[in-house]
Amino acid sequence: MQARAKRKRDSAQHKQTRAASKNMKSFTQIPPGTQILIGRAARRRRVLERAICSVFEGWSYEEIIPPIFDYYDVFAKGWGQEEQIYRFIDREGNILALRPEFTSLVAKTVATRLVSSPKPIRLFYSGEVLRFEKPKGGRQREFAQIGIEHYGGAHKAADVEVLLVAVEAFQRLGIQSFQINLGSVDFFGGIVDRIELPKEQIDALKEVLNVKDQSGLEALLQTLPLEERRKNILRAVPHLTGGKAVIAEARSLVKNPRSVEALNHLEEIYSIFERLDLAQHLTIDLGEIRGFDYYTGILFRAYVRGLGFEVASGGRYDGLPAAFGEDVPAVGFSFSLDRLAQIVTPTLENNDANSAAVDIDSDFRKALELRQSGKAVKLCL
Amino acid sequence: MLVIALCKGRFLDPSLAMLGSVGIRFSEDVASSRKLIFDSEDGRHRVVLVKPTDVPTYVEYGAADIGIAGRDVLLESRADVLQPLDLNFGHVKIAVAGPRGTQSINGNDNPTVRIATKYPHITMDYYNARGIPVEIIPLSGSIELAPLMGLADRIVDLVETGRTLKENGLEIVEVIAESSARLLINRAGYQTKRHEVRELIQALEKVIA
C-alpha cells in the first residue's frame, strides 16, 4: 500500500518537473523564424526605414498602413504561394491569414475603397510580413518589407518612375555598387505562347531555364518535338543578360509580337536611363523567368555586391487589381530591410553622449526643464 | 576576386585539374595542405575547401561565388543556385537498390516501403511523385548493410560500378537520376560579378571533356 502511494507521489512529482521544464523551454526558446531587435539593431532598422520613407515621400507617395491580417482569400488569390501563408480561423469560422506581403492588400484597397480616387495613386508601406519558408540570408519567417505601389499611370512613365525611386533609395543609403536587373515576363511569355506543349513539359523547361542548366536543357530538348529554330531560341534564353546589346541579340531571335513589344519597352526604359546617366545600374536580364504569378510586364530584382541574395524586387502586375474588381494598371517594388541592414551601417547618433545625466537627488523638476528645452536626460536611479 | 568552393575528397583532384586548365593555378599543393583557403597565383581567384554537402550552402548564401559539387549533393540540398555547366566528371547514378530477386516487391505487398538512405530529400521527392508511401531511414554510411540486417527493404544510394551492391547481394531496382560534377553559381554573384563569372564559364566550357 505504502509503496503504491510513493509511486503515485513520485509520478506526480515527475509530471510537475516535466511541466516546469516544458514551460521553461517555451520562454527561452523563440519560435524559429522570429527575431528580436534590441538597442542598436532596432535603431539601425528604424534609421534605414526612415531614410527610405523620406525618399518615397519625396516622390509624392503616401503611406498606407494595412492590417496585419486579412481574409485568406485575399492572399491566396493575389499572391498565390499558398503553402507559405500562415492562416488561422477566427471565432466565427472565417479563414484569415497573416499578411505574407503587402501588394495584394494594397491592390485590394485600391480596387475597393480607393476605386473613385483620381489616378495615378501612389502609395508606400513599411512593416512586417510573415511567410512559412526557410529563414535565409538574414531574412526570417517574419521580416520587414518596405516598398511602393503605383496605380493607374501610363506604363512606360510609371515603370521608369518606380525604378528611379529605387535608384534614389539605394543612393540615399550610400550604396553605390547596386545592380537592377530588368526583365519582362512577356519576352519569355511570348516564346512560350508559340510552343505547343503540355503544361508539364513547359514547367520542366522553366525549371532548367530557371537555373540556367545547359546540359539539362539540352537533354530535355532532345525529347521535345520542336523545330530547330525554337530550340535555338530556348538555348539562347539563359544567356540574354547584359547591356543594351542583349536587346539587339534578342531581336534577332524572336518575331512574335508579345516578345517584340516587351523588347521595345525594355529598350525605351534603357534609353531613358542612358540619358539620365544611370544605365550603369541597369542590366537587361531576359533569362530571368522567376517571379510570382501575378507579374504581367517588367520584372526586376536588385543586387548589391557582397550580398548573396537580392535586396529588392518588383515589377508590373496589371491583373492584380482586376482580380479584386477594378482593372487598373499597377507597378511597384519592395526592399527587404533585414537584408539591407546587413550591408548598410547607418551612422547612429549616440544617445548616451548627448543626454545630460541628471542625478535623482537634484529633483525631477530639473529633468522636466531639460526635457522641455529639448535635451535628452537619463535619471541616475 | 571570385571565391570558389571545392569539395574535399574524390572531387578535389579533378576540380583542381579543371581549374588549372583554365589558368587558375596555386603555388601551394592544395590537396595535401591542411589550410582551407588558397589564393590563385594571379590573385584573381580564391579557393575554399569544404565538405561536399556544404558546397551548395556556401554558394547559395554567397559566401562563395562559385562551387563545384555533384548533382546528387545539389538535389539533396535543394539550394537555389544557378548550375550552368555539367563538368563531365564524377559520373554516378542515384539509384534505388534492393536484395537480389526482390524486384517485384511493390506497394501492393508492402503498405509502406522502408528505405535507408543518405538522401532523404531525393528519396521523398521521387516516391511522392509516384504516390508510393515510404518510410525514410536516415543513415550516414554503409547503406548497403541496411537491407541485409532487416533494417530496410530498399536503399537509395550512389552507384558507380555496381560492385559494392553486387558484393552485398543487392541490385539496382530503378535509377532515379544521373549525377556528375556541376558548376554552381550564386544568383546575386552572377549579376554583380557578371564579367568575371561569364569569363570563367566560357573558359570552362572549352575545356570540358
Show Cβ contacts of residue B199 under 8 Å, excluding neighbours closer than 6 positions: none
Residues A34, A152, single domain; the answer is: yes
Considering chain B, what percentage of its residues have pLDDT values greater than 90?
79
pLDDT score recorded for residue B200: 95
pLDDT score recorded for residue A15: 55
Q: Verify whether the Cβ–Cβ distance B192 to A303 is below 8 Å.
A: yes
| Interval B23-52: pLDDT, tens | 999 998 888 888 899 999 989 999 999 999
Residues B86, B6, single domain; the answer is: yes
- Residues of chain B in contact with residue A238, where contact means CB-CB under 8 angstroms, are 84
**Residue from the list B61, B63, B83 with its beta carbon closest to the beta carbon of A212:** B83
| Interval B42-98: pLDDT, tens | 899 999 999 999 999 999 999 999 999 999 999 999 999 999 999 999 999 999 999
Q: Quick one: pLDDT band at residue A315, thresholds 50, 70, 90?
A: very high
- Residues of chain A in contact with residue B81, where contact means CB-CB under 8 angstroms, are 211
The total number of structural domains that make up chain A: 3
Residues B83, B104, single domain; the answer is: no
pLDDT higher for A362 or B33?
B33
Question: Is B82 an 8 Å CB contact of chain A?
Answer: yes
pLDDT score recorded for residue A367: 87
pLDDT higher for A14 or B113?
B113
pLDDT score recorded for residue A357: 74
**Residue from the list A136, A211, A307 with its beta carbon closest to the beta carbon of B188:** A307
**DSSP-derived 3-state class of residue A143:** strand
CA dist list (Å): B156 to A271, A370, B99, B144, B170: 54, 73, 12, 9, 12
Residues A319, A254, single domain; the answer is: no
pLDDT score recorded for residue A338: 92
Strand order in the sheet with B134-138: B134-138, B113-117, B154-159, B92-99, B170-179
**Residue from the list B60, B62, B82 with its beta carbon closest to the beta carbon of A307:** B62
| Interval A195-210: pLDDT, tens | 888 888 988 998 899 8
Dihedral of CA atoms A72, A73, A79, A83 in degrees, nearest 10, equals 50
Average pLDDT over every residue of B182-200: 93
pLDDT score recorded for residue A344: 87
Residue A211: is its pLDDT beyond 60? yes
Q: Verify whether the Cβ–Cβ distance B85 to A214 is below 8 Å.
A: yes
Residue B19: is its pLDDT beyond 80? yes
Question: Is B201 an 8 Å CB contact of chain A?
Answer: no
Residues A129, A117, single domain; the answer is: yes
Residue B107: is its pLDDT beyond 60? no
pLDDT score recorded for residue A118: 94
**Residue from the list A137, A304, A305 with its beta carbon closest to the beta carbon of B61:** A137
Exposed/middle/buried for residue B17 (C-beta within 10 Å: 0-12, 13-18, 19+): exposed
CATH number, domain of A287, equals 3.30.930.10
Q: Verify whether the Cβ–Cβ distance B61 to A136 is below 8 Å.
A: yes
CATH number, domain of B147, equals 3.40.190.10
- Residues of chain B in contact with residue A216, where contact means CB-CB under 8 angstroms, are 83
Phi, psi for A333 (deg, rounded to 5): -155, 165
Distance CA A209, CA A211 (A): 5
What mean pLDDT value characterizes chain A?
88
Q: Chain A residue with minimal CA distance to B195?
A: A242
Residues A40, A84, single domain; the answer is: yes
Q: Quick one: pLDDT band at residue A13, thresholds 50, 70, 90?
A: low
Q: How far does the CA of residue B195 sit from the closest CA of chain A (Å)?
A: 9
pLDDT higher for A192 or A347?
A192
Task: Report if residue A23 sits inside a domain.
Answer: no
Residues B119, B137, single domain; the answer is: yes
Distance CA B159, CA A67 (A): 54
The total number of structural domains that make up chain B: 2
Strands A178-184 and A282-285: parallel
Residues A63, A147, single domain; the answer is: yes
Residue A297: is its pLDDT beyond 60? yes
Window from A4-8, A100-104, A370-374 with minimum mean pLDDT: A4-8
Q: Verify whether the Cβ–Cβ distance A137 to B192 is below 8 Å.
A: no
**Residue from the list A136, A179, A215 with its beta carbon closest to the beta carbon of B192:** A179
Q: How far does the CA of residue B61 sit from the closest CA of chain A (Å)?
A: 5
Residues A200, A263, single domain; the answer is: yes
Where do the DSSP E strands lie in A64-221? 69-71, 87-89, 95-98, 121-130, 142-151, 178-184
Question: Is B128 an 8 Å CB contact of chain A?
Answer: no
Average pLDDT over every residue of B132-153: 92
Instruction: Give the domain range for residue B148.
Output: 92-179
| Interval A55-113: pLDDT, tens | 999 999 999 999 999 999 999 988 888 899 999 999 999 999 999 999 999 999 999 99
Place of cell 531576359: A286
Q: Which ipTM did the prediction report?
A: 0.83
pLDDT score recorded for residue A23: 56
Residues A139, A252, single domain; the answer is: no
Residue A365: is its pLDDT beyond 70? yes
